[in-house]
């Protein structure tokens, strides 16, 4: 089961996080990570906007929070 993460959501130790960005036509995967401990998803304010998005890059840059896992991608699109 997958779900989108919002700012302020609690991430539990052992949970897997797939860092992705973009839209249907320009989708990219930034990596697969496992939470080392419980933490709350931080946010990053969008430039020129009041909107705040989850800051996955801040999380993945902290080796105390997550470990990167090796993965392979299987593209099934046309």
Both tokens of 45, joined, read 């304010």
Structural domain contains residue 5: no
Structural domain contains residue 78: no
Residue 73 has a pLDDT of: 83
Give 37's pLDDT tier (boundaries 50, 70, 90).
very high
Total tally of structural domains belonging to the chain = 1
Structural domain contains residue 55: yes
Structural domain contains residue 2: no
Structural domain contains residue 64: yes
**b/e map 37-54, b = 16+ CB within 10 Å:** eebebeeeeeeeeeeeeb
Structural domain contains residue 75: no
Structural domain contains residue 40: yes
Mean pLDDT of 48-52: 79
Q: What is the DSSP letter of 57?
A: H
2 vs 70, residue with greater confidence:
70
Structural domain contains residue 59: yes
Containing structural domain, residue 64: 10-69
């Amino acid at each position: 089961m997958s779900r989108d993460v919002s700012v302020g959501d609690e991430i539990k130790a052992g949970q897997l996080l797939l860092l992705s960005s973009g839209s249907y036509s320009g989708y990219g995967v930034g990596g697969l990570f496992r939470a080392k401990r419980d933490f709350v998803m931080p946010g990053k304010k969008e430039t020129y906007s009041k909107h705040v998005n989850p800051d996955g890059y801040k999380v993945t840059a902290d080796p105390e929070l997550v470990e990167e896992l090796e993965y392979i991608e299987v593209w099934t699109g046309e």
